[in-house]
């Protein structure tokens, strides 16, 4: 029995629909990942044991200039975004826009919620728990938004651009980049501590763990879901 033929135009429509659904679900995944990063950053901030170098420097400078973290970090991201746009616009996607606009404001929002729900504690044990849980959540969110692969943050795009342009090792460039921001945050009296060093140099293995165990399977599930939905048509 002959199978009904599929018109090329109909096949193109199915492929476009598959691509659109895949993109929308990955964008949602990136959005959720960015929210999780913000929650992790909030817990790191409340631990008073340090946070990632980029946010630490932005908190320090925004406080000195009288800006909110969200507004100042948005300005910084726009400046870096122009750099990325000039030298490698392929790194830009909807995830780039979501990251550069949302994270600073979300950290402010989650910090306010935390302050209304939980009292500040001077206990080192409580701060240590906040730091550990915050680091785990931060790395999981970073893995989720990066695995979605719909654009990297302007800050995360700096190292690959310099690495490709100057033919340097990505790892070396990223360590130098984080170190520069770390030193800047330290001299600006930002929230720098032992966790800042951990975030700067040792979150890679955690991100790889979350990526392999959870987020890559989510991406594969999204691909199968979109394929199965379009196969029904």
What DSSP assignment string belongs to the chain? -PPPP--HHHHHHHHHHHHHHHHHHHHHHHHHHHHHHHHHHHHHHHHTS---HHHHHHHHHHHHHT--HHHHHHHHHHHHHHHHHHH-GGG--HHHHHHHHHHHHHHHHHHHHHHHHS-----HHHHHHHHHHHHHHHHHHHHHHHHHTS---HHHHHHHHHHHHHT--HHHHHHHHHHHHHHHHHHTT-S-SHHHHHHHHHHHHHHHHHIIIIIHHHHHHHHHHHHHHHHT-
- Give the tokens for residue 94: 């909807």
**81 vs 170 pLDDT, higher one:** 81
Chain position carrying tokens 């400046």: 79
- 125-138 mean pLDDT: 94
Distance in angstroms (rounded) separating the CA atoms of residues 45 and 56 = 9
Q: What is the pLDDT of residue 97?
A: 94
- Give the tokens for residue 139: 């790395």
- 148-152 mean pLDDT: 91
- 92-114 mean pLDDT: 94
Q: What is the pLDDT of residue 231?
A: 54
- 201-219 mean pLDDT: 89
Q: What is the pLDDT of residue 60?
A: 95
pLDDT digits (tens, 9 = 90+) for 64-89: 999 999 999 999 999 999 999 999 88
Q: What is the pLDDT of residue 62?
A: 95
29 pLDDT higher than 90:
yes
54 pLDDT higher than 90:
yes
Distance in angstroms (rounded) separating the CA atoms of residues 200 and 181 = 10
**pLDDT bucket at 14, cuts 50 / 70 / 90:** low
pLDDT digits (tens, 9 = 90+) for 175-208: 889 889 999 999 999 999 988 888 877 787 888 8
**pLDDT bucket at 8, cuts 50 / 70 / 90:** low
**Percent of residues, the chain, with pLDDT higher than 90:** 63
Chain position carrying tokens 């989650």: 110
Distance in angstroms (rounded) separating the CA atoms of residues 33 and 24 = 14
Cβ proximity of 195 and 135 under 8 Å: yes
Tally of CA atoms within 13 A in the half-sphere of 79 that contains its CB: 6
């Amino acid at each position: 029995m002959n199978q009904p033929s599929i018109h090329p135009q109909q096949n193109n429509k199915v492929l476009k629909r598959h691509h659109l659904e895949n993109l929308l679900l990955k964008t949602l995944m990136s959005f959720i990942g960015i929210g999780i990063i913000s929650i992790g950053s909030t817990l790191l901030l409340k631990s008073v044991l340090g946070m990632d170098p980029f946010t630490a420097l932005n908190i320090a400078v925004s406080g000195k200039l009288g800006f909110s973290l969200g507004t100042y970090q948005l300005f910084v991201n726009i400046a870096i975004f122009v750099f990325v746009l000039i030298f490698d616009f392929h790194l830009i996607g909807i995830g780039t826009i979501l990251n550069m606009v949302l994270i600073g404001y979300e950290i402010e929002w989650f910090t306010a919620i935390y302050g209304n729900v939980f009292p500040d504690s001077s206990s080192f044990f409580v701060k240590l728990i906040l730091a550990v849980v915050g680091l785990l959540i931060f790395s999981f969110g970073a893995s989720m938004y990066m695995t979605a692969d719909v654009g990297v943050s302007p800050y995360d795009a700096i190292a690959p651009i310099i690495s490709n342009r100057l033919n340097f090792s990505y790892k070396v460039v990223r360590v130098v980049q984080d170190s520069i921001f770390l030193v800047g945050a330290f001299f600006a009296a930002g929230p720098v501590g032992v966790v800042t060093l951990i975030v700067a140099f040792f979150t890679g293995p955690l991100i790889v763990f979350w990526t392999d165990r959870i987020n890559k399977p989510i991406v594969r599930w999204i691909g199968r879901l979109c394929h199965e939905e379009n196969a029904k048509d």
